[in-house]
Amino acid sequence: MTVAPRHNLTICDTTLRDGNHAVAHQLGRADIQVYARAAELAGVDVVEVGHGNGIGASSIQVGRAALSDLEMLRTAKAELRESKLGVLSMPGFASIERDLKPALDCGVDEVRVGAHCTEADVTRQQITVLRNMGVTAKGLLLMTHMVSPEKLLEQARQMQDYGACALILMDSAGAYRPAEVEVKVGLLVANLDIEVGFHAHNNLGLSVANALTAHKVGATIVDVTARGFGAGAGNAPLELVAANLHQEGVDTRLRLYGALDAADVAARQFVLHVPGNDSVTIASGIAGVFSGFAGPVRRAADQFRVDPRDILLELGRRGVVAGQEDTIVEVAMSLADRWNKTHRTEPEAEGLMTAERARPPAWTM
């Protein structure tokens, strides 16, 4: 059943999907047109397009996109020849009749059906339908730093059983270090009959290293974005992954100059701020908290005069997941409360109250 890929490594470029998070899903027609053309010339295997949360996700809840799914997909498809057009579909946001079938009519070549790392069974319906239609369906697990390698293997096997032809682990929080990549990706490669992929984020500055490590231990798909364009600290930059693969002599369809050009094109066209690391995105990576929490955490830290890093570490300890943004305010309030109590019983510390942003000691993990 497994068809050997023509090249050793498939590059999935999610600039026009994950990158949409960085601009509140406001990528426009010209952005998509220009970048899809550049990605085609760069020789990426798959160009993933859409709302940051995938097809069907444009909503008041997670942000309304500038363009409809179909406008985005048709625009990209018109620019692609050799590169495939991909979408992300998360059951609950996307439904088959409302979103998936119309998307396929726009010429989508492959669908990655995604779910939180413990909820693989919600993907059964979509993967089954896609397989029955003869569409390439890949399984994708989110926030995979949260559970053990064995749990990931169990969930991955379910997706394989439904008919997924590949399984991608997402490091949605940018929390992995290379050793964890080796263990988790390695276990899946050793035990699954399908391809394994890795989607890195850069909160700890390791996105490129993690992508390369994943490949080294047997992953045959890695995700990238131009200039690391994405939420928070961003993704594994296409141009840096391309450069390293070039140096290591890894066989891909990528053309080095094409990849460098594509990143430059993105920078000119829509990457208003190149994602970088600051104390909040780094703490977010250490805590293993969903990258999308950064904005609300900064606001709550200001409001309650607490250290945003403390909020993130506490959220990480509680194991919160995307969709629990309401917990941020609760944590900020309790940290402020705890701080006040501590300092009422230690009069000698009271002078600190007037100091700028006096805070309880952080980083006591």
Partner 1 sequence: MHDRPDSSPKTLRAAIIGTGNIGTDLLLKLIASPMLECTLFAGRRADSPGMSLAAQRGVTVSDRGLDAVIEAAADVDVVFDATSATQAAHHWSVLKPLGMSFIDLTPANMGSLCVPALNLEECLDEQYVGMVSCGGQAAVPIAHCISRTAGGLDYLEIVSASSSASVGPASRANIDEYVGTTERATYKFCDVAQTKTVLIINPAEPGIVMRNSIAVTASTEVDMAALRTSVALMESEISAYVPGYRVVVPPVRTDDRIMVTVEVEGRGDWLPRHAGNLDIITCAAVAVAEARANRNP
Q: Which of 5, 70, 109, 124 binds partner 1 (CB under 8 A)?
A: 124
Q: Binding string, 44-83, against partner 1, x = CB under 8 A? A: ------------xx-xxx----------------------
Query: In the bound complex, what is the minimum distance in angstroms from residue 19's beta carbon to partner 1?
Result: 22
Tell me how many degrees the CA angle 81-82-84 measures, rounded to the nearest 5: 90
Region from 122-130, 192-200, 253-261, 302-310 binding partner 1, contact rule CB under 8 A: 122-130
Query: In the bound complex, what is the minimum distance in angstroms from residue 146's beta carbon to partner 1?
Result: 9
Query: In the bound complex, what is the minimum distance in angstroms from residue 118's beta carbon to partner 1?
Result: 5
Phi-psi region of 249 (alpha: psi -120 to 50; beta: other; left: phi over 0): left
Nearer to partner 1, 118 or 277 (CB): 118
Nearer to partner 1, 97 or 348 (CB): 97
Nearer to partner 1, 119 or 264 (CB): 119
For residue 142, list its beta bridge partners. 116
Q: What share of the chain is helix, strand, coil (3-state, %, to 5)?
A: 50, 15, 35
Supply the residues annotated as catalytic: 21
Tell me the C-alpha distance between 260 and 266, whole Å.
Answer: 10
User: Which pair of structure tokens corresponds to residue 202?
Assistant: 């850069």
Q: Binding string, 300-339, against partner 1, x = CB under 8 A? A: ------------------xxxx-xx---------------
Distant-in-sequence, close-in-space partners of 255: CB < 8 Å, separation ≥ 6: 41, 42, 43
Give the SS3 label for residue 326: helix
Nearer to partner 1, 40 or 171 (CB): 171
Q: Is 97 in the site for partner 1 (CB under 8 A)?
A: yes
Which candidate, 253, 266, 201, 277, places its Cα nearest to that of 227? 266
Q: Is 93 in the site for partner 1 (CB under 8 A)?
A: yes
Distances (CA, A) of 225 to 13, 28, 62: 6, 17, 21
Binding residues for partner 1, per CB under 8 A?
A: 56-57, 59-61, 91-93, 95-98, 116, 118-119, 121-122, 124-126, 318-321, 323-324
